[in-house]
Structures are given as C-alpha cells and as structure tokens.
Amino acid sequence: NSATTSSYNKGRGPRVKLRTTWSLRPCVSTCRWTHTKEKGKPLMLNPRTNKGMAFSLQERQILGIHGLLPPKVETQDLQAMRFQNNLKKMTDPLEKYIYLMGIQERNERLFYRVLMEDIEELMPIVYTPTVGLACTQYGHIFRRPKGLFISILDKGHIRSILDNWPETNVSAVVVTDGERILGLGDLGVYGMGIPVGKLCLYTACAGIRPEKCLPVVIDVGTDNETLLKDPLYMGLYQKRDRSQAYDDLIDEFMEAVVEKYGQDTLIQFEDFGNHNAFRFLRKYREKYCTFNDDIQGTASVALAGLLAAQRAVGKPITEHRVLFLGAGEAALGIANLIVMAMMEKGMTQAEARKKIWMFDKYGLLVNGRREEMDSNQEAFVHDSPGNVQSFLDAVNIIKPTAIIGVSGAGRLFTHDVLKAMGTLNERPIIFALSNPTNKAECTAEEAYTLTNGKCLFASGSPFGPVTMGDGRVFTPGQGNNAYIFPGVALAVILSGVRHISDTVFLEAAKALAEQLTDKELEEGRLYPPLSNIREVSVQMAVKLVEYVYAKGMAFRYPEPMDKKGFVRATVWNTNYDSFLPDTYDWPGVSYSPKSN
Ligand code: NAD
C-alpha cells in the first residue's frame, strides 16, 4: 500500500514481508501476470516482459525480482531519455545499430518507444542504409538470434522448426533467402538483418504487435566467395542450391507457415534474387496471402512519388514518358503499376506500355537486341527509337518526363543526363532509387543544382535538404518502401485478405500521395515527412480496409462498420503493462492499482 511504498522510498527497509515461495491466488483480472508464467530473473531476461528499472516496488516484490535491480524506480520517460542521450553521443551508424539492437534484445517496449519518437533519425539505422552494412558485418556483430533460421538441410522438418518459435500467434512473416540484399548482392544467411529490420517497421510504423511478427532466413548456401572463405560466416558452407530441392524447400515452408499459423498469415518475400522473386510471386500469389516488397512495395512507393510529382508538373499520369535505368525487380514492378495507373485513367494496356522504356546493363530494351531479355521484360521491349549507345542518348532520343534509377550500379545519372532532363522538361522528374546511398544514381544536390532547382527528386536512401546558391531550400523525397508495406500489412492482417491483388498497391500509392500537403509539395517533398509515418500508415490502412471490404477481398467477419475506429483500436503502443493483478490481498501486503 502507499504507506509501505513511501516508507520504502525514505530509504528504510521494506516493511512488506516477502515470501520466498508463494503461490498466487487465482487472478480474475486481465493483468499481464495472468498472461505470463515467468517470474523472477527470467521475467527480466525476456525483452517482451522486461521493464528494467521501471518495475514498480510492488512488482519487484511480488514477482520475485526485488533486489535484482538498483533501488530506484524509473519512468519509461527517463529510460527513453537515457537511451536517446547515449545514441546522441555515438557518431558511427553501425555503433548506433548495435546499441539499438541491444536495447531491442533487452527491453522491447523501450526500444520501440525510442524508435517511434525519432523515426526519421533512426529509420536509416534500423533499415536502409545502415541495415545493409549491418548485414555485411552480421557475423561480427551477432549477439542474439532474432528470427528463425531454416536451412536446406532441414528439408522435411520445417513444421517442427516453426514449433520451436516461442510465439504461437504469428500474423506476419518476412522471409528472405539472402540472395539479393538491398543493392549489396548475395549475403547468404547474413540477410537475416533484413526481415528483422522490416518487421521492426511493421511495429514502429503501423503498430503491429511485435509478437505477431516472425523474421525468417532460408539458407540454401551462398555464391559469395568471400563469405564461403570466412571462418566467421554463420551459414551453410556451400554454393546456392538452385535445384528442385530449393523450390521444394520454399513450398514446404509456405505450407508449414499456414498449417501452423493459419491460412491468412501474411508472408512477405524480401530480397530474393530477381528470377526467383518473380517466379515465387507468380506461383504463390493466388494460393497464399503473400506479396513481394521489392517488386510490389517498391512499385507502390515509386508510383506514389509520381502521383505527387504530377500534381506539381500539372500533367496527368497518362501524359508522362518514363525511362528506367535498370530493368530488374524494382523497375518491372514500378513499370507494371504505372501501367495500371494509366489504364485506370482510360488508356489501353498497350498504349500505357508504350510510354515506358527500360535501359539495363546491356543498353536499351529493344526488339532484336542481341543480349538476353527475360519474359518479365517483354512488355517493355519496343522497336529501336534510333542509335542509342548510352543512357544519355536514350534520354535525348526518348525525351522522358521522368527517369527512374533502379540499377544499383552507382552514379549513372551523369551531369549531362541531369542537364538534359532540365532542358527537355519544365519540371523533370528524377528518381535515384538505388540503395545504399553510394549506389544512388545521383545525389539530391546534383539533381537540384544541375536542373536549376526545377526537378522533382526522390531517392531510395535519405539525402538532407539542399540549399541552392539563390537561397532556395529543397527537401528531397525519400521513396522509402516503409511508407507502404507496414500500412498494407496492417490492413491485410486486420481484414483477413487471402490474396493481395496489385490493386491494393495501387490504392496504397494513391492513399500515400494524397496525404502529401500542398505546402510539403512546395518544399520539394514528394512524400509526407517520415516523422509522420505512423499516422500516414494508419490512415493508409483505414483506406485499404475500406477498399478491400468494398471489393469483396476481405474475409474477416463481421465487417467492422467503423473502419477507422477498428484500425485505430488495434494499434499497439509502447506503454508498459502492469504485472500486478487488479487487486490482491495476502498477509502483509494489500494492494490496489491506485496505490501503484
Ligand atoms: P535487380 O538486380 O533485379 O535489377 C538491377 C537491374 O539493373 C538489372 O536490370 C541490370 O541489368 C541493371 N543494371 C545493372 N548494372 C547496370 C548498369 N551499369 N547500367 C544499366 N543498368 C544496369 O535489382 P532490383 O531489385 O531491381 O534493385 C535495383 C536497385 O533498386 C537496388 O539498388 C535497390 O536497392 C533499389 N531499390 C530501391 C527501392 C526504394 O528505394 N524504395 C526499392 C527496391 C529496390
């Protein structure tokens, strides 16, 4: 009771008589205590239940952790302040990453509290670009596993591996096979950093409960020679298995996930190699609740940027001509969604496809080209428009209104390319989406200065504001997939969507673009500030829930009438749960929540 507490705080020994062994009377309340079997030290070692020094005196006493912590009781505010101060002292992004991941391993709610409060600053640490660096260093910075590792040697046993995962109520799985990590290539099992980072954003951006999220890496070997020679590498020491056994393993994985967690479990594919990404998307999209973020998430965020840019340019999407640098997963995903957006505005598919050109490492995709093209690219292969020897030639001949860089090959939007875009267009659209920062096709500063501040610019990795010689300041947009996948995931999970159609990503793009204010557009932004991402994701989820119910794609019944209230009510927050029963009573201790 309060008398007991205050006397304790005066530095006198606790008057509460503690039992060393005790049994709790049946607790009829909805307190956290009824949910956890843990007490004592294990409660503190579990990041999901640990509160550090924020365990109250009563909790410490009845949970058997009194004396295991310094005597002061802290608030989460104070803990967050300490955490933020420590982060501020660090200059190296990888050091910050390691520190943040350490907090996630110790105190999950505190981790998310700090991540959410400073999402703009910390997203580039837990996600691209620093997560890429962390993946390359995974074997050196590894502390505790945060996801499930399934190797090709586990074939036939995936279901029992899923049974080892401590959470039973999983709603979303993010899976990679590590073959194409960001723009960094094959990192094998070190790719685990990606699903972990993505799922952090499920929670931070859309309020999806962390225990509902499962990160998975599938290890079928790696073709990365450096890793295969590294004694510290943690995956299988073998070349990638590209045989039927790989496909069978992925099939078994998909089946095991739905068997264990239910048919509407969301499975997000992430950073698979180009060929496999398309194959698996085609193979599974009508059978499972799945999407590929590199293809569909990227497409949606890039289209949202274009929709925002067209507001500034003043031309409808149907009047744009888009030239891609790169013709891989990202480019094809974006191109197909642009086609859908153009078709929605009345164009035929053939007309829309003619508006889109692609230039890859062998040159322009044109009929009769000697170098190989795959079936996914066919829709964007046109008759040669003239003698195109370089990307600059392609710009000058095709005269695009927008160029989109997704080659992962570095600074290929040369000064001449940028100047040409500035000459050809009143408001050129320039997206340099390759990650990480050193792979971006140009910097924000180059884009603005070489087009005299006329361009509408977005990048994959963040760039700071650019001040022009005449004092104008532009805030570049970051076409970050995190604007899309958490909101889509929240809507899909809540409404019980079984198959995620591309139209969901089209709607997500529209929902994102319309949240950009005119003022933000004037500042040069093509996306709302990242600091608003939680609200942006929740509002997007509301729109998508409305959409999927209206289109008959939702299978969770009864249909919520108040969709906004329905979505908002589920959003997780980072306040600590109380571990105390609402009331209890035993000799020497009487407690009611008001005295806590
Ligand atoms: P991918 O491997 O599927 O495709 C790469 C494409 O670039 C291929 O068509 C290849 O031929 C082409 N290419 C390579 N070198 C080239 C060169 N020198 N000149 C012209 N073309 C060249 O990769 P992807 O999944 O499409 O990703 C590409 C890049 O896009 C990566 O850097 C990735 O980080 C980035 N990306 C960004 C976002 C985002 O910002 N939201 C999302 C997804 C991917």
Of 288, 319, 346, which closes a domain? 288
- Residue identified by tokens 């409960």 is 209
Over range 85-111, report the average pLDDT: 97
Q: Are residues 61 and 84 in the same domain?
A: no
33 — pLDDT class (breaks 50, 70, 90): very low
Q: Are residues 457 and 416 in the same domain?
A: yes
Instruction: Tell me the C-alpha to C-alpha distance, in Å, between residue 37 and each of 28, 43, 55, 88, 104.
Output: 15, 9, 17, 37, 21
Could you tell me the residue range of the domain that residue 48 belongs to?
A: 5-74+581-591
Regarding the beta carbon of 407 and ligand 1, being less than 6 Å apart is answered yes
Q: Are residues 50 and 114 in the same domain?
A: no
| Catalytic one of 51, 97, 112, 127 | 127
The string of pLDDT tens digits covering residues 433-465 is: 998 888 999 999 999 999 999 999 999 988 999
Over range 552-572, report the average pLDDT: 96
Residue 16 has pLDDT above 70, yes or no: no
Query: Has residue 574 been placed in a domain?
Result: no
Q: Are residues 130 and 24 in the same domain?
A: no
Q: Which amino acid, residue 451?
A: T
Predicted confidence at residue 22, as pLDDT, reads 36
DSSP 8-state assignment for residue 577: P
Q: Which residues are bridge partners to 266 per DSSP?
A: 172
Predicted confidence at residue 129, as pLDDT, reads 87
Residue 25 has pLDDT above 90, yes or no: no
Over range 390-403, report the average pLDDT: 98
Predicted confidence at residue 582, as pLDDT, reads 60
Residue 313 has pLDDT above 50, yes or no: yes
CA–CA separation, 367 vs 505, rounded Å? 30
Residue 128 has pLDDT above 90, yes or no: no
Q: What distance in angstroms lies between residue 569's CA and the mean position of ligand 1's atoms?
A: 39
Full DSSP string of 386-442? S---SHHHHHHHH--SEEEE--SSSS-S-HHHHHHHHHH-SS-EEEE--SSGGGSSS
Q: Are residues 342 and 491 in the same domain?
A: no
Nearest CA to ligand 1 atom 19: 361
Question: Which has the closest alpha carbon to 165: 216, 91, 93, 110?
Answer: 216
Query: Has residue 570 been placed in a domain?
Result: no
Predicted confidence at residue 263, as pLDDT, reads 94
Q: Are residues 359 and 398 in the same domain?
A: yes
The string of pLDDT tens digits covering residues 202-252 is: 999 999 999 999 999 999 999 999 999 999 999 999 999 999 999 999 999
Q: What secondary structure, in 3-state letters, does 239-301 show?
A: CCCCCHHHHHHHHHHHHHHHHHHCCCCEEEECCCCHHHHHHHHHHHCCCCCEEEHHHHHHHHH
Nearest CA to ligand 1 atom 2: 328
The string of pLDDT tens digits covering residues 506-519 is: 999 999 999 999 99
Regarding the beta carbon of 361 and ligand 1, being less than 6 Å apart is answered yes
Query: Has residue 563 been placed in a domain?
Result: no
CA–CA separation, 350 vs 5, rounded Å? 75
| 190 included as an active-site residue | no
Q: Are residues 271 and 311 in the same domain?
A: no
CA–CA separation, 321 vs 291, rounded Å? 27
- From 381, 407, 433, 437, the mutation candidate for ligand 1 (largest count of ligand atoms within 8 A of CB) is 407
CA–CA separation, 266 vs 257, rounded Å? 9
Known binding-site residues for (S)-malate equal 180, 435, 480
- The enclosing domain of 261 has a CATH number of 3.40.50.10380
Distance of CA 461 to the CA centre of its chain: 13
40 — pLDDT class (breaks 50, 70, 90): confident
Nearest CA to ligand 1 atom 18: 361
CA–CA separation, 274 vs 328, rounded Å? 7
Predicted confidence at residue 14, as pLDDT, reads 40
Residue 314 has pLDDT above 60, yes or no: yes
Nearest CA to ligand 1 atom 40: 460
Q: Are residues 398 and 509 in the same domain?
A: no
Query: Has residue 271 been placed in a domain?
Result: yes
Regarding the beta carbon of 116 and ligand 1, being less than 6 Å apart is answered no
Q: What distance in angstroms lies between residue 274's CA and the mean position of ligand 1's atoms?
A: 10
- From 184, 303, 361, the mutation candidate for ligand 1 (largest count of ligand atoms within 8 A of CB) is 361
Of 480, 506, 531, which closes a domain? 480
Q: Are residues 191 and 264 in the same domain?
A: yes
Report the chain's mean pLDDT, rounded to a whole number: 91
Of all atoms in ligand 1, which is nearest to the CA of residue 408? 32
Longest Cα separation, the chain: 91
| Catalytic one of 146, 198, 439, 510 | 198
Known binding-site residues equal 180, 270-271, 294, 435, 480
Query: Has residue 569 been placed in a domain?
Result: no
| 127 included as an active-site residue | yes
- From 360, 388, 431, 441, the mutation candidate for ligand 1 (largest count of ligand atoms within 8 A of CB) is 360
* More confident of the two residues 587 and 236: 236
| Percentage, residues of the chain above pLDDT 70 | 91
- The enclosing domain of 426 has a CATH number of 3.40.50.720
Known binding-site residues for a divalent metal cation equal 270-271, 294
Predicted confidence at residue 182, as pLDDT, reads 85
Q: Are residues 334 and 468 in the same domain?
A: yes
Query: Has residue 571 been placed in a domain?
Result: no
Query: Has residue 561 been placed in a domain?
Result: no
Regarding the beta carbon of 217 and ligand 1, being less than 6 Å apart is answered no
* More confident of the two residues 362 and 31: 362
Q: Are residues 225 and 182 in the same domain?
A: yes
Of 261, 288, 315, which closes a domain? 288
Burial of 416 (0-12, 13-18, 19+ CB in 10 A): middle
Regarding the beta carbon of 221 and ligand 1, being less than 6 Å apart is answered no
Question: pTM of the full predicted structure?
Answer: 0.90
Count structural domains, the chain. 4
36 — pLDDT class (breaks 50, 70, 90): low
Instruction: Tell me the C-alpha to C-alpha distance, in Å, between residue 50 and each of 40, 100, 207, 214.
Output: 11, 16, 19, 20
Buried residues in 550-578 as b, exposed as e (16+ CB within 10 A): eeebbebeeebeebeebbeeeebebebeb
CA–CA separation, 310 vs 141, rounded Å? 44
Predicted confidence at residue 31, as pLDDT, reads 46
Contact between 446 and 419 under an 8 Å Cβ cutoff? The reply is no
Query: Has residue 596 been placed in a domain?
Result: no
413: its two tokens: 């939007």
Residue 183 has pLDDT above 80, yes or no: no
Of all atoms in ligand 1, which is nearest to the CA of residue 435? 34
Q: What distance in angstroms lies between residue 304's CA and the mean position of ligand 1's atoms?
A: 19
Q: What distance in angstroms lies between residue 197's CA and the mean position of ligand 1's atoms?
A: 20
Q: What distance in angstroms lies between residue 163's CA and the mean position of ligand 1's atoms?
A: 37
Contact between 304 and 527 under an 8 Å Cβ cutoff? The reply is yes
Q: Are residues 385 and 333 in the same domain?
A: yes
